Each structure stands twice: as structure tokens, then as C-alpha cells.
Amino acid sequence: MRVALFITCLADALFPSVGQATVSLLERLGHEVVFPEDQTCCGQMHINTGYRREGLRLIRHHTEVFSGSDAIVAPSGSCVGSVRHQHAEMARRAGDDALAAAAEGVAARTYELSEFLVDVLGVTDVGAYYPHRVTYHPTCHSLRLLRVGDRPLRLLRAVRGIDLVELPAAEECCGFGGTFAVKNAEVSTAMLADKMRHITSTGADVLTAGDSSCLMHIGGGLTRLRAGTRSVHLAEILAATA
């Protein structure tokens, strides 16, 4: 299958290893990965902060870039959530029905990584080897916007060598929330403190999740406290081999 990688602006700029892992995982499973180089950002940050005009411009650009792709995969629940639940609606409300229709088409072909692996490719054992104690945080948008359910956990359980431990109060938000992390930094930090308390209580040396943004927030807190737990994206664990 020919898969177009939607890298997300954050992973592109700050976490290229997440993109590299996604590419190597999909290629190992026998699929061709293409990278539409004109892609920039899905516009979620603008939309969610109230900047609809700028957001709409980015929606238009994103839709144009990916309109020719058959399957679009992103290592992010949040960005896929925006494409699927915000793009067409924003276009419609702005009175651009043609863009809304095109965005709906792109949305229908866009998948978060764990959805794509489990639902489209039909695999849960991706042949990974990862000998570490790992706990998984389900990010809010993958959980409640995309409803990925236990797909990431099914993928993780099939990883050889892994010691997967359950995260207490896993479904509670980590406090990132995009610009919320800066606009309401102190509430965000209070939420992070509880998330980190639960993570360290598991004794895991690796925290994983499907969103680089939430991992940047939680991981930034963990390194600040020298907590001894690393944050690693799900794609990187699934790409790892012996």
C-alpha cells in the first residue's frame, strides 16, 4: 500500500525520530511511504486558540497537499482529530462548501498510526522488540475524539521483551491542551504533577503515548524533576527491533 506520511509540524521540527520510526515501521510491514513535502501544519493550534482566519488558510493548504493521497497516516491523535472533526466543519461555517467537501474526503482517508495498523493493515504484532518497563498514557484526543480504544495497547502487548504496566488514572488529561499549557500554565502544571505522580508510581522507565505534544509536556516535566522516566513515542517502540 502507498501511504502518505502526515508528519505534523511539531514532529517535523522537534521530534524527527518519530517520523523516521513511522517510516521504518511502515516500510518494514511492506508498504511504500511517500512524504508530500509541501505539508506544513493542520492548523489545530490556530483553530483551538480562536484564530479561525489563519486556521482556515492552513486547512485549505493541508487539504490541497493531501487531496491526491489514498491513505494518510499521522503519528498523532490530536492532529488527526483536528483533520477529522474540525476541518470540514470550519470550512462549512466559513461558507466554503467546496473546501468542506474536499476536507471531508481527506479526513475519511486520514488515520492515526494505531488505527491504521490495526484497522487498515489488520496487524497487532508488528515484529517489534523493546526490552523496557513501559507505561502507556492514552492522550485525550486519541481517546475521546478518535476513540482509538485499546488499539495502542494491543500493539504494545504484542511487542517482544516489553514489560507493560498499567498507568493509574490513565484517562485523565496530562494538562497539555495546546496553548492552554502557556495561557493557564499553573493549572496545566497542577495536572501534570498528578500525571507524573501516577507515572512514577508504576516504576516504568519509559512513558509512551501517541502524541508528541503531550509527550513533550509530560517529558519536559519528568526531565525537569530528574524523575528517571523517559518519554518515547509509540511509533518509536513499534519500530524498534532486536
Partner 1 sequence: MTTFLGMPSYAPRGVGALRGFDLFPAAAREALGNAQLRRNLGHATATIRAKRAAVVGEVADWEELRLAGEAIKAVTMARLDEHLVRLEREVTERGGTVHWARDANEANRIVTDLVRAAGADEVVKVKSMATQEIGLNEALAEAGIAAWETDLAELIVQLGHDRPSHILVPAIHRNRSEIREIFLREMSDVDPGLTDEPRQLAMAARAHLRRKFLTAKVAVSGANFAVAETGTLAVVESEGNGRMCLTLPQTLITVMGIEKLVPTWRDLEVFLQLLPRSSTGERMNPYTSLWTGVTPGDGPQTFHLVLLDNGRTAVLSDEVGRAALHCIRCSACLNVCPVYERTGGHAYGSVYPGPIGAILSPQLTGIEDNASLPYASSLCGACYDVCPVRIDIPTILVHLRGRHVEERSRRRLPSPEAVTMAAAGWTMARPARFRGAERLLRVGRVLGRRRGRIGALPPPLSAWTASRDLPRPPSETFRQWWRRTRGTS
Q: List residues near partner 1 by CB under 8 A.
A: 7, 9, 11-17, 19-20, 34-41, 43, 45-55, 57-58, 61, 86, 93, 140-141, 143-145, 171-173, 175-192, 216-217, 219-221, 223-224
4 contacts: CB under 8 Å, gap ≥ 6: 33, 34, 35, 36, 66, 69, 70, 71, 72, 73
Measured from the CB atom, the residue of 124 and 184 that comes closer to partner 1 is 184
Give every strand in the sheet of 32-34, ordered side by side.
32-34, 2-5, 71-74, 110-112
207: β partners: 135, 231
Give 151 or 195: the residue with its C-beta nearer to partner 1. Answer: 195
Nearer to partner 1, 11 or 118 (CB): 11
CB of 153 to partner 1, least distance (A): 19
Nearest-approach distance from CB 99 to partner 1, in angstroms: 14
33, three cell numbers? 511511504
For partner 1, which is the closer residue by CB, 96 or 172?
A: 172
Name the minimum Å distance from CB 232 to partner 1: 12
Nearest approach in angstroms of CB 116 to partner 1 is: 18
Helix (H, G, I), strand (E, B) or coil at 233: strand
The C-alpha cell of 203 is what? 516504576
User: b/e string for 43-64 if b means 16 or more Cβ within 10 A?
Assistant: bbbbbbeeeeeebbebbbbbbe
| Residues 62 and 85 sit within 8 Å (Cβ to Cβ) | no
Nearer to partner 1, 167 or 192 (CB): 192
As measured in angstroms, the least distance from the Cβ of 121 to partner 1 is: 21
